[in-house]
């Protein structure tokens, strides 16, 4: 039995979790800083770093109390070491290294994107490979072929804004506050998704995405139609994003002969995206897996789960491993 402490501080969630053998979550504590950043309309890196510094110790303590473990029970300490905000990453990485030294246990640095991929497997360990994972977050939009543990191939990505960024920017423009994804998701339930026809660029061109033109289309529409219902605009925008995401995920799944489609990242919490993805999987006779909303957004259970797999395949990280704001997933060709 291996008890792993996971730490996640790459953006604006301060999180700690205790996971046993890669899939038994004993505690998964997330302290969101959303309220701290909301008045600025987005994450302020300096504020995020300072908040992690004061929140991390109590969050780790809470996770350990909730899990009923003490420091002698922890076998491995893991933390996200990139990509993300440098000041935020450094807090988690430094804390993890200090604990690893103090408790005399291995330290493992985890790639935040890989952790999002493992969030899906954490709740559904029996998924068959190859899997098509659509990672849609505030910073990234990627279609990834998950061939086996540690083996990923990039099939498509956004050429400009990430899907979550598009949600956040459009919500901000519509005065719906921050974070925009959940606000648009909620308001869309009251609107007509067919009211306005927005089509994202590159819909029918391969597996890459482009979302910045869609945001501009919304802005132009609102300028020309100042009396349009905000709920209709939100619902139509969301329908366009979900349409292009599911269309390309389906294409990618066909291309690689995927046994299933998994969603990952914050935007995977979107109700419309979840529903449409499942519809596709049922129609195509493949598995569909939607992690719980808590597992879609940033958390530390996914970090500890990834550390379990990393521990078996590569062993611990050196203690001079740094925080890397631009860390990439090691894709194979």
* Residues of this chain that bind ligand KG4 (CB under 6 A): 11, 137-139, 164, 167-168, 179-182, 185, 265-267, 269-270, 297-298
Of 105 and 261, CB closest to ligand KG4: 261
Contacted by 139, from Zn ion, ligand KG4, none: CB < 5 to 8 Å by type: ligand KG4
Contacted by 260, from Zn ion, ligand KG4, none: CB < 5 to 8 Å by type: none
Contacted by 33, from Zn ion, ligand KG4, none: CB < 5 to 8 Å by type: none
Answer positive or negative: Cα dihedral of 300, 306, 311, 314: negative
Of 232 and 298, CB closest to Zn ion: 298
Contacted by 156, from Zn ion, ligand KG4, none: CB < 5 to 8 Å by type: none
Minimum separation from the CB atom of position 302 to Zn ion (A): 9
Of 272 and 286, CB closest to ligand KG4: 272
DSSP 3-state percent helix, strand, coil across the chain (nearest 5) = 45, 20, 35
Q: What is the side-by-side order of every strand in the sheet holding 131-136? A: 151-157, 141-148, 131-136, 260-264, 287-289
Site for Zn ion in 110-149 (CB under 5 A): 137
Contacting residues for 39 by C-beta, under 8 A, at least 6 apart: none
Minimum separation from the CB atom of position 267 to ligand KG4 (A): 4
Of 146 and 198, CB closest to Zn ion: 146
Of 235 and 329, CB closest to Zn ion: 329
Helices (H), the chain: 34-38, 45-67, 86-103, 112-123, 163-173, 180-188, 212-224, 230-256, 271-284, 293-296, 301-313
Distances (CA, A) of 267 to 44, 116, 141, 148, 228: 20, 12, 9, 24, 25
| Helix, strand, or coil (residue 151) | strand
Query: How many positions of this chain bind Zn ion (CB under 5 A)?
Result: 2
298 binds Zn ion (CB under 5 A): yes
Of 146 and 286, CB closest to ligand KG4: 146
Contacted by 200, from Zn ion, ligand KG4, none: CB < 5 to 8 Å by type: none
CA–CA distance, 215 with 168 (Å, rounded to integer): 10
User: Per CB under 5 A, which region of 101-109, 213-221, 284-292, 298-306 contacts Zn ion?
Assistant: 298-306
Contacted by 272, from Zn ion, ligand KG4, none: CB < 5 to 8 Å by type: none
Minimum separation from the CB atom of position 151 to ligand KG4 (A): 22
Minimum separation from the CB atom of position 137 to Zn ion (A): 4
Torsion of CA 275, 279, 285, 290, to 10 degrees: -10
Contacting residues for 240 by C-beta, under 8 A, at least 6 apart: 198, 199, 200, 214
Q: Is the preceding omega at residue 286 within 30 degrees of 0, hence cis? A: no
Structure tokens at 90: 């450094």
User: Per CB under 5 A, which region of 16-24, 218-226, 291-299, 315-323 contacts Zn ion?
Assistant: 291-299
Binding site for Zn ion (CB under 5 A): 137, 298
């Amino acid at each position: 039995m291996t008890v792993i402490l996971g730490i996640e501080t790459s953006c604006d969630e301060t999180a700690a979790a205790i996971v046993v053998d890669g899939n038994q979550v004993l505690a998964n504590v997330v302290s969101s800083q959303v309220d701290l950043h909301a008045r600025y309309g987005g994450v302020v890196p300096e504020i995020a770093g300072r908040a992690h510094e004061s929140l991390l110790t109590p969050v780790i303590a809470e996770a350990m109390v909730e899990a009923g473990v003490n420091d002698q029970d922890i076998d491995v300490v893991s933390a996200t070491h990139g990509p993300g905000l440098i000041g935020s990453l450094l807090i988690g990485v430094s804390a993890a290294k200090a604990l690893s030294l103090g408790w005399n246990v291995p330290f493992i640095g985890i790639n935040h994107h890989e952790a999002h991929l493992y969030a899906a497997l954490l709740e559904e360990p029996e998924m068959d490979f190859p899997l098509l994972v659509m990672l849609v977050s505030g910073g990234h939009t990627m279609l990834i072929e998950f061939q086996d543990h540690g083996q990923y191939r990039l099939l498509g990505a956004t050429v400009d804004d990430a899907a979550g960024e598009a949600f956040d920017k459009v919500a901000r423009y519509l005065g719906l506050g921050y974070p925009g994804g959940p606000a648009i998701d909620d308001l869309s339930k009251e609107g007509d998704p067919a009211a306005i026809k927005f089509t994202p660029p590159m819909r029918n061109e391969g597996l890459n995405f482009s979302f910045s033109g869609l945001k501009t289309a919304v802005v132009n529409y609102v300028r020309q139609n100042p009396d349009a219902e905000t709920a209709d605009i939100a619902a139509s925008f969301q329908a366009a994003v979900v349409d292009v995401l599911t269309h390309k995920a389906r294409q990618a799944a066909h291309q690689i002969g995927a046994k299933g489609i998994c969603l990952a990242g914050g935007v995977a919490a979107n109700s419309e995206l979840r529903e449409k993805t499942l519809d596709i999987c049922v129609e195509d006779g493949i598995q569909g897996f939607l992690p719980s909303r808590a597992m879609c957004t940033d958390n530390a259970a996914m970090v500890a789960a990834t550390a379990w797999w990393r521990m078996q395949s590569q062993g611990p990280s050196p203690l001079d491993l740094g925080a890397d704001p631009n860390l990439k997933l090691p894709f194979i060709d």
